[in-house]
Amino acid sequence: MRTQNSRVSFATRNGVNSPIADRGRPQTAASPPCSLRPPILERRVRKILRMVESGTSFTIRDLALEFHLSPSYLQHLFKHQTGVSMGEWLSEQRLQRAAHLLANSYMSVKEIAHTIGYEHASSFIRAFERRFAQAPARFRKQSDSTEC
């Protein structure tokens, strides 16, 4: 069980974002900390990592159907292999993609929300604010000012 102070962060190594436990350290905006990833991941879990990181939005149910597994077993397998829940990891991937789109595109916040798999922009904005401690529009404005 996670404590209130624990967070999940994701490190990039060999082009694959790997979830790691972060013991309450504050996270920076769009650059997750580096860490070691598990040495050997099961073939299905490696494929899930690649599929989601390709930029396509997937739900746990989509992935479970793809691998002919129940959603609960797939989540158990993923958590056992990576140490983080699949829902948290999928959410982090979506929000990282949103941050990239905000900084590098002219898409509206509503378009980005829809692109990354949120049905309602308000839900996306709340999730983004929880993750990055600022609204998407402010994140974009700060990204624009740092590029000059």
Q: How confident is the model at residue 37 (pLDDT cuts 50, 70, 90)?
A: low
Q: List Cα–Cα distances, 74 to 44, 48, 81, in angstroms.
A: 9, 10, 11
Give me the helix-helix angle, 86-104 and 136-147, nearest 10°: 50
The model scores a pTM over 0.85: no
42 pLDDT band (50/70/90 cuts)? confident
CA distance to 59, 75, 101, per residue, from 137 (Å): 26, 33, 12
Helix, strand or coil for residue 104?
helix
pLDDT (tens digit per residue) in 52-74: 888 788 899 999 999 999 999 99
What is the distance in angstroms between the CA of the first residue and the CA of the last residue of the chain?
A: 44
Q: What is the mean pLDDT of residues 81-89?
A: 92
